Structure 1
């Protein structure tokens, strides 16, 4: 045999198909996201947080790659579920769901594969089972009615005014001008306006029609031709087509046995009416095309008025006909008028059972019957509507017996869906969260007395950390150097318990101020690729798992007896320093001399010790201290006990050969209820939430305790009025949250 036969033939590299190249490119993008979650960032970290955004931009440019990405994500999810990489699950799942919402068309087999995986997550602990259940329900609806999520999202966010789907959403962004410089505010405002310049109501209607048609019909829908036809139609005709498509989609959703094939036939008939048959010989442009998902309408507000959130929510939810009728002081002027039909005769009302069972028409036609004049007990479900957020946090008890990881993730309990959703986004550091907690407490307090807003709207709170060094230097002491570790404790804690929040939201902390350094001239790239706006929209849409933070109340007493005590709330910390000034009162010369020599003052501390066993132990101690610092945010994600970590700087006198000196030591205690009283002539300076605008001077005594839910307090007062001798919670109060928590939305809640 010839030796040449044994020589290997020279190998030539064959060009890979475009499909393979796209698949490898997407796989590399997904793997880079996973490495980012592990903390392994190749090269510099300047692009941290942009990998997810870049991946979705690739899908927008190439809609055929949606199926490839979904298959890759499902495969990676199955590997993470089987292995030890559980922290991959929720980030990959959110990426998957966002891809499905934007996808032009998904086959039924692929829907089934995603649905089967989501059902597997129900066997895992929180928060995986909660997020998995929510995704499984959405996939089930999307599989039967393709395009449902996209349609409802655009209608509600753009307020398109559908007759069959009237839900509305709005994103409110509040900027504190004292915490964020004017240049940063202007940069954010410019980017939002540039991104929303093309999002007219008519354009959004065309997006909804085209996406619903393509999601149902697939490549049988000529999207380019459909969009051109819709663009040529008058506004009234376009709106009529929009209403018809939305009604068809919602009709399929309401059917008991929703069928994808029947839904495609229904939309196919509407498609044939809109798109006229093509002329003979004309080329068909059928195929999958990318349809933009417009960002929600974002409203920016300079938070100059402490009551601004409540005012804007009221303006958002009141009917347009009342826009010029409400006075400026609406909260004090508005009253709920109830017409009494009780004649005072005990039999002029129907019986309790008849009242709850008969229909409205029966009530109108039925004759009056006589019965005893007694108070009808309102059912729990009806009473819960009058007391907002009653059942949403029923697992949350008083602070000190709570653990963050065991009961503070609000589950998606089935409850009546409200017509409005207000997504409140605050930008800044911990100081803006302290201000938000105060505004939220004020809102809940007014709603407990007269519910107007919370019975109509679902309030969702979001937090984007922004560390603006320009504004930070103007509000802090020049000798104090503050960094992100000190100013953004809440965002750092959220980043530790939710890696997806760390990757997508915490990266904006320093990126947003960089916008102010960009050229002020209009940029086409800024309008086409608005990174900050896109990430904010993604966070508002997908961040639905809240982490609840206890709000604490402080009652402050002053050295001047003519001043009344003041009550305030804080979220992150309370700092108390001893003042040098003295209370004007008589004292002996010896006492003055001793106090001038020794720093600090004698204080009496009474507190209830917090322990893991939830056993309360009251402690009284006398210390000579110069400073107190109460921290409400845990420094470690493994520390899940909800309480205040109080550090007390204790001053101790020591005597040696060189004379008398003083040494300091830090004593740590855990508590939720604490009272501090100055026994000498020195007073405290109290600062709340690191905010120099919330400082109290000449304080001699203060009491700190968990802030109670105003609805609970109101209901408790009613119970005590009816039954003065009852001390424990009875009736509706048993199901209500005692403490007031500020829920900050994240992507996963707290990952254990």
Structure 2
């Protein structure tokens, strides 16, 4: 029966949530994001009110659709679905109304149709098997031993210790430990079993004392009943045509068996748990990002961990012989002979160089070389993992050719291969910090893709998703620059600001953590801080990784740097957000000093030549060459506003313009912006400059005379192009597998809605 007071309280909370989306909420800026968390905490304390909240949310969704308030649809839908997972026993009429609303979203553009389709499928499953979404989520997130549903998920939280203080890191670790202390493997299994009995058998009989009975049982007994419950759920999920009564009967038998074995102890056990069944937080591991290869190593260890799937048994030989070794420094290694323990060649060494004792005579070496020998390796049968379908699935599935539009890609699900691979592991990589840690993430992602292009190991078995939470402790001071140089007007979290403009729900829930996490880290700990119900940061992160499934793809850019010392080889690096170019101090030699008197006005800067491809709205490219005198420039890869969201580089230059007047010659500084896909910059004088990538002082290059900036290519595409050049003398573009592969490297960052049109 509906409670008018509770309904009125829920209605006020939902309306406050909508006012917050409009920016009209009177609360302080630092309190944004608390409304959604407070609303769901009310359901955690009293799950029986979940149906009432869903009823209110459905009404608001229907009103938003009727009045064309599209900005409310995705936030309300996410709030509704999270409530539905947390609260049991939802009436069928509410399921029907939500399902019909999700079907209406299929007529709208992305991301509404994408999210509507995903939630419609989940609702269909949940209505057929009540509680299935909850049970699958807990089983996967906690990596519970389960033969029926062997999927595993894990959240990897990466923090750069040089960017965040020890206090912030300690606050995050304390919340993770507090959550893990209250959700051991047995307690999570109990939650799944209780939820199944509560949602299915409550209408057919009294479910009493399940928690107390199983809590007193050994772990193997609890695991036995957990396996039976999950098997019944997955059997019903596979056979959707099966009668619901058959599923209820199967669960009833499991419950009867449990109660019959403990008939004598039923009276002695405690009362039925009335506070509701909690939803455990996901399994999160905390990592201080010190090693460049740390991300890749942690993902390998995740696959090497004891698995609950039968697939792991077939993969164990490969995992046992796998070592933490780089597969080669660059793609040039493809042109050399590579020896490995795991090989897909025949193992015949007729044409291989002799690796024996160097002191052997030439005739002995020749005789040994001409013999047919089989190398001590393992023959691996060619698998579909090396096929075109796999290469596409490991590269975000964006296709080989660039899109006709220049707008940033977002929101789409990655393309599944033709022969769909069953990847049972999902790694959710969460990074915390400012733009500098995103630069490190782009480097790690590029390195990972390069490894996988040479030897497919992680990608066929593991889905990797990236999440970003901005954290800034204090506003960084502007770095010292030359007189007249381009001023530092950038904010520390440009990518987060862009995601907040693209997705308002990300702005309300995630961007608010930017200054809140350091603030909570400095607050004195209280006794309630140790309770799971007060873990605000961890709860928001759990909400983000569970519902933030719509990626926004960011182009990664490569830069090639040439130095004044010609003995040094050019260096190649990548950046994601920004490249800044600052002129260095000019110390001319005696030979270059002018013999005549010095000019009255010394013009700052240096003469630069810019060669670039101008970006036009018609998607055509126009070659341009520009010579100017500049004091510095900044190349931005993230658009500063949503009006011109083009996938291109914004080159902001400070040009020195000479002015002649009656008092003599002077100059003025003019800031210009160039939009381009690629650019070459070189100094026509003896001046050198310093290049900084992604605002990171650890990524400085000095004594640079010229640079080349261009979109970073997908490593699998580069590898196929290299193989094509070796097999064909003609310089054809995109032949063979290369024409089906994505050409550019795109880094996906997950949000709640992608880019809302």
TM-score by length of 1: 0.86
The corresponding residue for 2:167 is 183
The corresponding residue for 1:466 is 471
Residues 1:300 and 1:221: Cα distance change in structure 2 (over 3 Å): farther
**Residues 594-644 of structure 1: CA deviation (Å, up to 9, x unaligned):** 799221111111000001101111001111111111111111123221101
Residue 313 (str. 1) matches residue 299 (str. 2): yes
Summarize the alignment of residues 393-404 of structure 1 with structure 2, pairs less than 5 Å apart.
Answer: 393-394=398-399, 397=402, 402-404=405-407
Residues 1:391 and 1:316: Cα distance change in structure 2 (over 3 Å): closer
The corresponding residue for 1:623 is 628
Residue 411 (str. 1) matches residue 413 (str. 2): yes
8 Å CA contact 2:555–2:745 kept in 1: the answer is yes
Residues 1:614 and 1:386: Cα distance change in structure 2 (over 3 Å): closer
Distance 1:417 1:492 in 2: 36
The corresponding residue for 1:545 is 550
The corresponding residue for 2:277 is 291
**Residues 290-344 of structure 1: CA deviation (Å, up to 9, x unaligned):** 21110011111111112111111111112557999765547679753337499x9
The corresponding residue for 1:163 is 147
8 Å CA contact 1:550–1:706 kept in 2: the answer is yes
Range 319-328 or range 669-678, more displaced: 319-328
Distance 1:607 1:133 in 2: 42
Range 51-60 or range 289-298, more displaced: 289-298
- How many residues matched? 700
The corresponding residue for 1:337 is 343
Cα deviation for residue 410 of structure 1 reads 2.4
The corresponding residue for 1:260 is 244
Cα deviation for residue 236 of structure 1 reads 1.0
Cα deviation for residue 267 of structure 1 reads 1.0
Residue 208 (str. 1) matches residue 192 (str. 2): yes
8 Å CA contact 2:2–2:52 kept in 1: the answer is no
The corresponding residue for 1:225 is 209
Summarize the alignment of residues 59-78 of structure 1 with structure 2, pairs less than 5 Å apart.
Answer: 59-78=43-62
**SS of residue matched to 2:541:** helix
8 Å CA contact 1:118–1:133 kept in 2: the answer is yes
**SS of residue matched to 1:487:** coil
Distance 1:652 1:25 in 2: 63
**SS of residue matched to 2:343:** coil
Residues 1:599 and 1:317: Cα distance change in structure 2 (over 3 Å): same
The corresponding residue for 1:348 is none
8 Å CA contact 2:481–2:582 kept in 1: the answer is no
Cα deviation for residue 546 of structure 1 reads 0.5
Residue 99 (str. 1) matches residue 105 (str. 2): no
8 Å CA contact 2:721–2:738 kept in 1: the answer is yes
Cα deviation for residue 525 of structure 1 reads 5.5
Cα deviation for residue 715 of structure 1 reads 1.8
Range 537-546 or range 330-339, more displaced: 330-339
Residues 1:205 and 1:578: Cα distance change in structure 2 (over 3 Å): same
Residue 444 (str. 1) matches residue 449 (str. 2): yes
**Residues 575-608 of structure 1: CA deviation (Å, up to 9, x unaligned):** 1011113477964636996799221111111000
8 Å CA contact 2:89–2:199 kept in 1: the answer is yes
Gaps of 5+ in 2: 307-315, 329-338, 351-380
8 Å CA contact 2:131–2:199 kept in 1: the answer is yes
**SS of residue matched to 2:236:** helix
Distance 2:72 2:271 in 1: 40
8 Å CA contact 2:47–2:86 kept in 1: the answer is no
Residues 1:583 and 1:725: Cα distance change in structure 2 (over 3 Å): farther
1:604 paired residue among 605, 609, 612 = 609
The corresponding residue for 1:737 is 742
Range 613-622 or range 214-223, more displaced: 214-223
Residues 1:311 and 1:511: Cα distance change in structure 2 (over 3 Å): same
8 Å CA contact 2:21–2:505 kept in 1: the answer is yes
Range 287-296 or range 733-742, more displaced: 287-296
8 Å CA contact 1:387–1:448 kept in 2: the answer is no
**Residues 26-79 of structure 1: CA deviation (Å, up to 9, x unaligned):** 111111111111111124334210111111110111111111111111111111
Cα deviation for residue 163 of structure 1 reads 1.1
Cα deviation for residue 24 of structure 1 reads 1.1
Residues 1:146 and 1:396: Cα distance change in structure 2 (over 3 Å): farther
Distance 2:230 2:480 in 1: 57
The corresponding residue for 1:13 is none
TM-score by length of 2: 0.86
Range 163-172 or range 105-114, more displaced: 105-114
8 Å CA contact 1:573–1:689 kept in 2: the answer is yes
Range 129-138 or range 270-279, more displaced: 270-279
Residues 1:591 and 1:126: Cα distance change in structure 2 (over 3 Å): farther
Distance 2:246 2:748 in 1: 42
8 Å CA contact 1:214–1:288 kept in 2: the answer is no
8 Å CA contact 2:386–2:456 kept in 1: the answer is no
8 Å CA contact 1:386–1:455 kept in 2: the answer is no
The corresponding residue for 1:12 is none
The corresponding residue for 2:504 is 499
Distance 2:489 2:140 in 1: 36
Cα deviation for residue 521 of structure 1 reads 6.3
Residues 1:700 and 1:89: Cα distance change in structure 2 (over 3 Å): same
Distance 1:341 1:434 in 2: 41
Aligned residues: CA RMSD: 3.3
Distance 1:704 1:207 in 2: 53
8 Å CA contact 1:605–1:621 kept in 2: the answer is yes
Residues 1:309 and 1:222: Cα distance change in structure 2 (over 3 Å): farther
Cα deviation for residue 552 of structure 1 reads 0.5
Residues 1:455 and 1:326: Cα distance change in structure 2 (over 3 Å): closer
Distance 1:252 1:573 in 2: 52
Distance 2:185 2:559 in 1: 48
Residue 172 (str. 1) matches residue 156 (str. 2): yes
Summarize the alignment of residues 25-44 of structure 1 with structure 2, pairs less than 5 Å apart.
Answer: 25-44=9-28
8 Å CA contact 2:391–2:741 kept in 1: the answer is no
The corresponding residue for 2:362 is none
Distance 2:202 2:489 in 1: 49
Gaps of 5+ in 1: 1-16, 345-375
2:31 paired residue among 34, 44, 47 = 47
**Residues 720-741 of structure 1: CA deviation (Å, up to 9, x unaligned):** 4344436233443333211111
**SS of residue matched to 2:209:** helix
Residue 658 (str. 1) matches residue 663 (str. 2): yes
